[in-house]
Structure 1
Amino acid sequence: MHWLVLALALIPLPAMAEFFTLKGHGGPIMGIATAPDGRIATASFDNSVGLWSNRNPEWLEGHEAAVNSVAFNGRAIYSAGDDFTLRRWPGGDVVGQHKGKIVGLAASKTHVATASWDGTIGLWPEDGSAPQVLQVGSGVNAVTFSPDGTTLYSAGMDGTLRVWDVASGQETRRLIEHRFGINELVLNPVDNWIAYGAVDGVTRVLDLTTGDVRDFTLERRPILALALTPDRSLLAVGDGEGYIMVINTAEWRIAQDFRATLRGPVWALAFSADGQNLHAGGLDEAMYSWPVSALGDQAQMAAAEPSFLKDPDEMSNGERQFARKCSICHSLTPDGQRRAGPTLHGIFGRKAGTLPGYFYSDTLQDSDIIWNDETINALFDQGPDHYIPGSKMPMQRITQASDRDDLITFLRSATTPENETGGNQ
């Protein structure tokens, strides 16, 4: 008997699932992907991709705007975002480009597919041959391949779930005509069903053999993320109100439904390669991962309130304007905190587009703007899209002159280095 005990002791036990976070991004987590070897990739509003091995990050930087989606394909990693580009890592080479934001990615052995708000789907061959552009006519939110890569499913703003033949680039079938836009898709090719989540909160599973539909819609909207465990036993659903619902797909029942984040939506979901953990991203600057066996029993995302959600009564008017208009993209500290935009520390007197280490648009790099009271006032009076056409800055204005004055006063106080006196430099 002692030999049996010894033999059992020598058998390695599986690692116990545990709660953990991946911290280091400077903006919300927009997309998550997992690789069979345990690596995790995170796409962030801070314009970067985090590649995590043993919870240590390697930063993949090159995008010029928020990164919305990321996917593993063998040893390669693909990412896409608000700068209209599809990039391949290592290297960050641009392998595809749209005329609008790319919000969804899928990879097969032969192609990478991109879903864009320009109303098209891009099919980019792995061998570098000529791509195909599939015309949809309205914004596309999600794409997914069949396992053999010959069929592509897509869904978008018009509420239509389409099927495409990859070889010909032709639409072959329409599975769903929903009244509201469809945001997310998950295909289960083994059991032959596809799940989708829509703007109106609808969460449904379509049996591709029988056409039967299972409905798991709750009173929360929109649906922003879907993920399936590797063994196909659990389907996770994230929504705009911060909840995660987990569906047991063997018994077709809701196994878990919990509030995952204190504030804001759940934008991204993915299961670990072994299926023991559920990873999630939202407004917080970290990815959260819960053991599947203890969902809802651990800490929530965004437990510390972001500055742009801080109680307005606790701030001066100038700080309020900064929190609402600037803080999600810009920091006030010298290190920049990995935000989507450059730090505003020392901005007064600085020529636009000149801070080292930040990827500026050509428009800003070529401009003659010097940031001071007058130019900052004009930026928010006219809006970036009019004051600096072609800039990456989001379209926004501060219409009241007194609010712009208060913002400038706050910025001068908060961004002037301590050894300088203020005043235009």
Structure 2
Amino acid sequence: MISCKRALIAVSLILMLPTAAHAQLRGHGGPVRAVAIGSNGQTAISGSFDTSAIRWSLTRNAAEEVLRFHDSAVNAVAIIDAERQATGGEDGKIAIWRNGNPVPEHSLEGHTAPIVSLAISPDGNTIASASWDRSIRLWPLSGGEARVLNGHDQNVNGVVFTRDGKSLVSASYDATIRIWPLDQGEPIVVTLPTPLNAVAVSPEGEIAAGGADGRVYLLGLDGKQRGEIQVADSPIISVAVSPDGSLIAAASIRGSVGILDRKDRKILRTLVGPGLPVWSVAFFGDSKTLLTGGTDRLVRRWDTLTGDQLGSAVANGADDPLAAFAGHRGAEVYRACVACHTLSPDEGNRAGPTLHGIFGRRIATLPGYNFSPALKQMNIVWTRETVAELFEKGPMHYTPGTKMPEQRITSADDRNALMDFLEKATAKK
């Protein structure tokens, strides 16, 4: 772990980069269900309904790895330390990943319904999971049996450790907050007026819970209610507290994100996106920059002090790899692939292999890239026809066992335009 001073320096350097460096992250083939940011502000992980997680470089706006293990949606993600991440799925499983490994180090099984929230203890030794099986589990990362916390009588939608590591807070659709002392004592149970979808805790221990009535409820660790803020007229489905404790981000199912002054109990501004559900929010260490993941399949970056988006899905400037193809329909279709693939041999591989010279190459034969074992057994040669078929049927159907996020292009005209673009952009000179 890097020191607080070095973390602040790293964040400052990121914020000084040109606007193109703040481009949004596009790579998932389905809604982005969860996001988490590393303590150094340079890496993030996202989970999606497309069954994959993606580990991102926030300095390069590129996918470092696509992680595939779960049988269905990845609903929860967490960063354990600089080398490890955790993902929780609709399949009830938790996968622990180490950087550079295409398969999990190990998986944690015991839940009997979807996992929807993960939290790492402040000492990094325990992972907590919340599930729709109405239970919470505390898993020792060194191994051993999980401790099971029962008591909620509806889906448990959120779980978070207090910053001192002495308590765990859970939020449930049964309209209760439970504050669990980790010394084995009985939990404090607080009933609120509405089902609860998310929970976060400030550095000094104030609880912020997102309700189905569009409000954020504020409580102390003693269970006493301290206030509430009406944020939206639709359910709040994700909340985060800034590292310095000054702000709360509360995302609604209709797509807006309220930025709240925690001390004054008021809305400072509203971040307005494409009007689709925002499933996850996470603050950078600077306490002003926010990542959001939503139904539009993007991870967006925001300045919460101004309300502005930082960058675009891909900036059309000097750093845009597709600037030379401005106006080409196929290049616009290809923008969904930029985060994972490069076009020239100088840029090399990202989470996916470079596409330079793809036509005429047999699948899984590019030197220097770690392909899935299943792909190495296939006998596909990439041509206009086979690449088009990949996107018509979807990677998971056409190339089972792939790590590629699920992406389909339903329009034949768009597929043809993409093939025209790839023939020009990937041809060997």
Band the TM-score falls in, shorter-chain normalisation:
0.5 to 0.7
Who is 1:404 aligned against? none
CA distance in 2, matches of 1:171, 1:278: 35
Count of residue pairs the alignment pairs up: 312
CA deviation map 1:352-391 (0-9, x unaligned): xxx53259xxxxxxxxxxxxxxxxxxxxxxxxxxxxxxxx
For the residues of structure 2 that align with 1:338 and 1:67, how far apart are their CA atoms?
22
Q: CA deviation at 1:43?
A: 0.8
CA 1:333–1:46: 2 relative to 1, 3 Å: farther
Q: Which residue of 2 aligns with 1:356?
A: 400
**Aligned pair 1:334/2:389, yes or no?**
yes
Match of 1:197 among 188, 207, 210: 210
Match of residue 48, structure 1, among 48, 52, 55: 52
Distance 1:149 1:219, change over 3 A: closer
1:177 aligns with: 191
TM superposition shift of 1:209: 5.9
Other-structure match for 2:323: none
Q: Partner of 2:282 in structure 1?
A: 270
1:257 — aligned with what?
Answer: 270
Pairing 1:73–2:80 present: yes
Determine the structure 2 residue equivalent to 1:117: 132
- Does residue 28 in structure 1 map to residue 15 in structure 2? no
Is the Cα–Cα contact under 8 Å of residues 46 and 338 in structure 1 kept in the other structure?
A: no
Aligned-partner SS, 2:24: strand
How big is the shift at 1:218? 3.6
2:202·2:242 contact (CA, 8 Å) conserved in 1? Answer: no
Q: Normalising by structure 2, report the TM-score.
A: 0.66
Residues 61 and 283 of structure 1: is their aligned pair in 2 closer, same or farther, counting only changes over 3 Å?
same
- Cα RMSD (Å): 3.3
- The one-letter amino acid paired with 2:33 is M
Aligned-residue offset at 1:20: 2.2
Q: Which residue of 1 aligns with 2:93?
A: 85
Deviations along 1:322-356, one digit per CA (max 9) or x if unpaired, are xxxxxxxxxx95335997x834x6xxxxxxxxx53
SS of the counterpart of 2:245?
Answer: coil
Paired residue secondary structure (2:157): strand
Residue 233 of structure 1, aligned match among 241, 246, 265: 246
1:220 positional shift: 1.7
Looking at structure 1, the residues matched to 250 and 178 of structure 2 have their Cα atoms a distance apart, in angstroms, of 21
Q: Distance in 2 between matches of 1:215 and 1:244?
A: 16
Which moves more between the two structures, 292-301 or 36-45? 292-301
Contact 2:303–2:309 at 8 Å: present in 1 too? no
8 A Cα contact 2:229 2:265, kept in partner: no
Q: Which residue of 2 aligns with 1:16?
A: 16
Residue aligned with 2:112, SS: coil
What amino acid does structure 1 have at the position aligned with 2:267? Answer: I
| Equivalent residue in structure 2 for 1:94, among 85, 107, 113 | 107
Larger Rg, first or second structure (1 or 2) = 1
The residue type equivalent to 1:223 in the other structure is: I
Question: 1:205: how far off?
Answer: 1.4
> Deviations 1:117-142 (Å, cap 9, x if unpaired)?
01111111111021112223321101
Give the match's secondary structure for 1:50.
strand
Deviation of residue 230 (structure 1)?
Answer: 1.5
Sort the Cα spacing of 1:222 and 1:275 in 2 relative to 1 into closer, same or farther, 3 A.
same
Code of the residue aligned with 1:246 in structure 2: it is I
- Contact kept, 8 Å, 2:256 with 2:275, in 1: the verdict is no
Q: CA distance change for structure 1 residues 254 and 97 in 2, over 3 Å: closer, same or farther? A: same
Unmatched segments (≥5 aa) in structure 1 = 1-11, 305-331, 346-354, 360-409, 416-425
Amino acid at match of 1:101: P
> Partner amino acid for 1:184?
A
Structure 2 unmatched ranges of 5 or more: 1-10, 314-331, 333-386, 404-409, 416-429
Instruction: Quote the offset at 1:148 in angstroms.
Output: 3.6
Query: Do the aligned residues in 2 keep the contact of 1:158 with 1:179 (CA within 8 Å)?
Result: no
Identity of aligned residues (%): 29
SS class of match (2:91): coil
Return the TM-score normalized by structure 1. 0.66
1:247 to 251, 260, 264: 260
Distance in 2 (alpha carbons) for counterparts of 1:282 and 1:156: 21
Equivalence for 2:355? none
Corresponding residue SS for 1:294 = coil
**2:291 paired with 1:279:** yes
Counterpart-to-counterpart distance in 2, 1:125 and 1:198:
30
SS of equivalent to 2:230: coil
Match of 1:162 among 170, 173, 178: 178
Query: Does the Cα contact within 8 Å between 2:203 and 2:244 map onto a contact in 1?
Result: no
* Larger RCO of the pair (alpha carbons < 8 Å, separation 6+): 2
* Equivalent-residue separation in structure 2 for 1:300 and 1:13 (angstroms): 20
Q: In the alignment, is the contact (CA less than 8 A) between 1:202 and 1:216 conserved in 2?
A: yes
1:338 & 1:124 partners in 2: Cα distance? 39
